[in-house]
A and B are shown apart, each in its own frame.
Chain A
Amino acid sequence: MKIKILRSQTNAHQEYSLPDQESTLLGALEHIKSSIDATLTFSAGCRSSVCGTCAVRVNGRSELSCSYKIKDGDIIEPLQYHSVLRDLKVDKHHAKETLRRSQAWLHESREASLSPQDEKRTETQTDCILCDSCYSACPVLAVNPDFLGPFALTRAYRYSTDKRENDVKEIIDHIQTNGVWDCTLCGECTAACPKGIDPKMDITMLRGTSVQHGYEDPSFSQISFGTPDFGGGGFGFDPNAGF
């Protein structure tokens, strides 16, 4: 079995031959590093889909290395919209900054009576492992690097619906600029999430809450119907974008 991995030093895909047996991509990467090529660089942690360290792109799609089973001819590349530090290892700082900018936390805690229904409301959202798969899949980031992106907005939603939050407006105030209204609701994030989270729906819900707090869709308020300029990068899914 052969797979190709994008190497940063040469900016070319390097082919590796692997034993013909079932293996996770992470198993394959470990095998390459320990016995074929010690310079291949990637990040990994728990092997069980929960630490969020090992997301990459396989044939253009975000995948966790530890849960993806490799196939002959697979092409492995780093996440998009992250600066590549080396090979498959990316800098996650810019993406993580969105959590700080969106202030996705409990602002003012109050005592509440929570039920199983309350738990269910954000059970899936709180399964987020911050693997950045959704961020890599989001086409808005191709044109607006300051967009808060899917995982930060999902997290903002999760706190905004928490009965223990006494200051929902504070959350809503921080997701207006480069936030909920900049999303195109294309659903790429939802398709990319390894945990089955639906950021598109969460963003839609946050728009509703924003309206309740007196905000409105700026594209309507400015009566601007012009189409945004996507710089020729294409709005659809382009596996080579970012390179």
Chain B
Amino acid sequence: MVDILVIGSGGAGLSAALAAKQMGASVVVAGKSYPTNSQTSMAQGGINAALGNVNEDHIASHIADTVKSGRGLSDEQMVRRMCGDAPHTIAWLDSIGVPFSRLDNDGVGTQSIAQRQMGGASAKRACYAQDYTGLKILHTLYDTCLKKDIDFLDEHYLLNLITKDGTIKGATFLEMRTGEIKQIDAKSVIIATGGYGSIYHGFTTNAYGATGDGIAAALRAGGSISDMEFIQFHPTALKHSSILISESARGEGGYLLNSDGERFIDELKPRDEVARAIFTQMQNGKEVFLDVRHLGVAKLMELLPQEVELCKLHEHVDPACELIPIKPVAHYTMGGIDVDDALEVNGIKGCFAVGECSNAKVHGANRLGGNSLLEITAFGKFAGENAAKHAIYASSKPADNTQLEKDKRYIQEIYTKKSTLNFYTHREEMGRRFYEDVGIIRNNVSLHRMLDEVIAMQTALSKMGIEDKSPTNNTNLTDFLEFTSALLLAPAIISSAIARDESRGAHYKEGFETQDDETFKKHIVIEWNKEATV
């Protein structure tokens, strides 16, 4: 039995693993791909910390900006913890070798780390590494994990958490290579499995794997989930491929133009407002473009080299001399597994959740750019420490194989079931319909329509299955399992959105365009087999 089982090998999982190992715990990291393949690699713009390297800044300002953007749904104590810990977190990342962009100021240590403007920030606060901030943090964390001899179990797909009397005992996995269903016993478990943005399949910046597997597993195991209706739409994704163009493009001075060549919004407002303004233009039949031509080739290549390449490749547009066609798409899920002040899952003792899969209530109704990399590293370490402390006193008696046998039967059923409906078609359909009906601007008619659709899809699930019957390396099977996770979370998202008859942050509802603090300044929490309650 291992002390700490970390599920998910992105930035949050790796930070947690390093912290737990540092505390002397034995650690295993299990993930459905390889550590550096995770969504963290896609974070471009930066990681916030009030270092004040470029202009005056204070931790208090970072806290205030974050709370303001959260529209009343941030837990100020958690925000204070995260923002207060930010300078230490940057110092830690600097000490393990993250190649941050630098200022020419002869500063020592973190003093020379360059910082840029992001939307909703009152200072230049985002530390960055060109437009590869997430990639470079993730890879440095991985190198450090190798140095610290962390054990990795790659290609392990999470099936279920194992609990006994409300306490975590481990988890079951499908080992994708061999097809073996196995049980890993652990004293503490850290879920770091990422968000559920891929429900918006085809209309999201997210990687294919962001299907909310860990959130679905927590829900099934008796954990609470909350704030599921809050999905951030990133204002600037490429129009045809939904590939992300970083907010730093606007932070560095990029404009938004409509097809009449007019600017229509302050580009540096928080993401919810900018996304809505763009969407409204599109609804009025206008195309929308990002204009960075005035920045010049040299500055573009210095600050946004990745963006320039992606525009050329996927849109046939050279940002140095042409407008970039864009649209807002699903980017980040604020909701997730409901955790307490120690990041322990409400409903499952000894089980912790961190990163996009968790709702630590720092982002509230709308996340600020640069705060997600901060959350995964700062809170990743915090989760690792807390899980290690829990493991010290946890029982070392492993669970029996009830869950394992159940999951073996479940997978066997999928293999024997005849598939008459193609789930890939439904995955596509769900993505498009979610974008239209549970998107940037919602209304109760569209939400109810989509809820009916999702319930019909859940019924139809009995006719869906896998055509590929290979016992090993079966990606048809894992695609199907991911689809079932998304389908489990879909009604939770929609019913939370229906219950919230107001507009707040990323949740904007026609007919209820104002924020109603009296009724709705609270979190909508959902538990298994219980109806959504406000």
Chain A positions near chain B (C-beta within 8 angstroms): 33-35, 38-39, 41-53, 67, 85-86, 89, 91-93, 96, 99-100, 103-107, 109, 111-116, 118-119, 122-123, 126-130, 155, 158-159, 162, 164-165
Q: Is the CB of A48 within 8 A of B468?
A: no
Partner of B207, one of A39, A46, A99: A46
Q: How far is the CB of A115 from chain B (nearest CB, A)?
A: 6
Q: What chain B residues lie within 8 Å of A41 (beta carbons)?
A: 468, 473-475
Q: Is the CB of B37 within 8 A of A45?
A: yes
- The proximity string for B residues 114-144 relative to A, scoring 1 for CB distances below 8 Å and 0 otherwise, is 1000000000000001101001100100011
Given contacts A39-B470, A103-B147, contact A109 B96 (CB under 8 A): yes
Given contacts A50-B135, A105-B147, A109-B95, contact A39 B37 (CB under 8 A): no
Counting chain A CB atoms within 10 Å of each CB, which of B132, B143, B422 scores highest? B143
Q: How far is the CB of A130 from chain B (nearest CB, A)?
A: 5
Q: Is the CB of A114 within 8 A of B112?
A: yes
Q: How far is the CB of A121 from chain B (nearest CB, A)?
A: 9
Asked if B159 lies at the interface with its beta carbon under 8 angstroms from chain A, I say: no
Q: What chain B residues lie within 8 Å of A50 (beta carbons)?
A: 41-42, 132, 135, 306
From A44, which residue of chain B is reached at the shortest CB distance? B208
> How many residues on the B side are at the interface (Cβ–Cβ under 8 A)?
61
From B94, which residue of chain A is reached at the shortest CB distance? A164
Taken together as a complex, chains A and B put the C-alpha atoms of A162 and B98 apart, in Å, by 10
Q: How far is the CB of A198 from chain B (nearest CB, A)?
A: 16
Asked if B531 lies at the interface with its beta carbon under 8 angstroms from chain A, I say: no
Q: How far is the CB of B162 from chain A (nearest CB, A)?
A: 27
Q: Is the CB of A39 within 8 A of B476?
A: yes
Taken together as a complex, chains A and B put the C-alpha atoms of A85 and B33 apart, in Å, by 14
Q: Is the CB of B39 within 8 A of A46?
A: yes
Partner of B132, one of A35, A100, A127: A127
Q: How far is the CB of B111 from chain A (nearest CB, A)?
A: 8
Q: Is the CB of B33 within 8 A of A45?
A: yes
Partner of A111, one of B102, B109, B241: B109
Q: What chain A residues lie within 8 Å of B475 (beta carbons)?
A: 33, 41-43, 89
Asked if B396 lies at the interface with its beta carbon under 8 angstroms from chain A, I say: no
Asked if B146 lies at the interface with its beta carbon under 8 angstroms from chain A, I say: yes
Q: Is the CB of A52 within 8 A of B36?
A: yes
Q: Is the CB of B143 within 8 A of A99?
A: yes
Q: What chain A residues lie within 8 Å of B130 (beta carbons)?
A: 123
Asked if B262 lies at the interface with its beta carbon under 8 angstroms from chain A, I say: no
Q: Is the CB of A38 within 8 A of B468?
A: yes
Q: Is the CB of B476 within 8 A of A96?
A: no
Partner of B107, one of A93, A113, A128: A113
Taken together as a complex, chains A and B put the C-alpha atoms of A48 and B312 apart, in Å, by 12
Partner of B99, one of A42, A91, A122: A122
Q: What chain A residues lie within 8 Å of B42 (beta carbons)?
A: 46, 48, 50-51
From B244, which residue of chain A is reached at the shortest CB distance? A48
Taken together as a complex, chains A and B put the C-alpha atoms of A126 and B137 apart, in Å, by 10
Chain B positions near chain A (C-beta within 8 angstroms): 33-34, 36-39, 41-42, 94-97, 99-104, 106-109, 112, 114, 129-130, 132, 135-136, 139, 143-144, 146-147, 154, 177, 207-209, 241, 243-244, 306, 309-310, 313, 422, 424-425, 427-428, 466-468, 470, 472-476, 479
Given contacts A112-B108, A129-B135, A164-B95, contact A89 B310 (CB under 8 A): no
From A162, which residue of chain B is reached at the shortest CB distance? B97
Taken together as a complex, chains A and B put the C-alpha atoms of A50 and B36 apart, in Å, by 10
Q: How far is the CB of A104 from chain B (nearest CB, A)?
A: 6
Given contacts A45-B37, A46-B207, A52-B36, contact A39 B468 (CB under 8 A): yes
Given contacts A34-B422, A105-B147, contact A118 B102 (CB under 8 A): yes
Give 5 A-B pairs besides A51-B39, A116-B104, A118-B102 with Cβ atoms closer than 8 angstroms. A49-B310, A86-B472, A100-B146, A105-B147, A119-B102
Q: Is the CB of B97 within 8 A of A51?
A: no
From A31, which residue of chain B is reached at the shortest CB distance? B424
Given contacts A48-B243, A48-B310, contact A130 B36 (CB under 8 A): yes
Q: How far is the CB of B115 from chain A (nearest CB, A)?
A: 14
Taken together as a complex, chains A and B put the C-alpha atoms of A118 and B100 apart, in Å, by 10
Q: Is the CB of B104 within 8 A of A115?
A: yes
Q: Is the CB of B112 within 8 A of A126?
A: no
From B316, which residue of chain A is reached at the shortest CB distance? A22
Q: Is the CB of A114 within 8 A of B132?
A: no
From A121, which residue of chain B is reached at the shortest CB distance? B99
From A110, which residue of chain B is reached at the shortest CB distance? B95
Q: How far is the CB of A225 from chain B (nearest CB, A)?
A: 37
Given contacts A34-B422, A38-B466, A39-B476, contact A45 B209 (CB under 8 A): yes
Q: How far is the CB of B217 from chain A (nearest CB, A)?
A: 20
Given contacts A118-B102, A129-B36, contact A47 B241 (CB under 8 A): yes
Q: What chain B residues lie within 8 Å of A104 (beta carbons)?
A: 143
Partner of A93, one of B129, B135, B154: B154
Q: Is the CB of B146 within 8 A of A99?
A: yes
Q: What chain A residues lie within 8 Å of B104 (beta carbons)?
A: 115-116
Taken together as a complex, chains A and B put the C-alpha atoms of A127 and B104 apart, in Å, by 22
From A120, which residue of chain B is reached at the shortest CB distance? B102
Q: What chain B residues lie within 8 Å of A129 (beta carbons)?
A: 36, 41, 135
Q: What chain B residues lie within 8 Å of A49 (beta carbons)?
A: 306, 309-310, 313
Q: Is the CB of B473 within 8 A of A113?
A: no
Q: What chain B residues lie within 8 Å of A96 (beta carbons)?
A: 34
Q: Is the CB of B139 within 8 A of A126?
A: yes
Q: Is the CB of A113 within 8 A of B39?
A: no
A-B contact pairs, 20 of them (CB 8 A): A33-B476, A33-B479, A41-B468, A42-B475, A45-B207, A47-B207, A49-B309, A50-B135, A50-B306, A51-B38, A51-B41, A89-B475, A105-B97, A107-B147, A111-B108, A113-B106, A116-B104, A119-B101, A122-B99, A126-B99
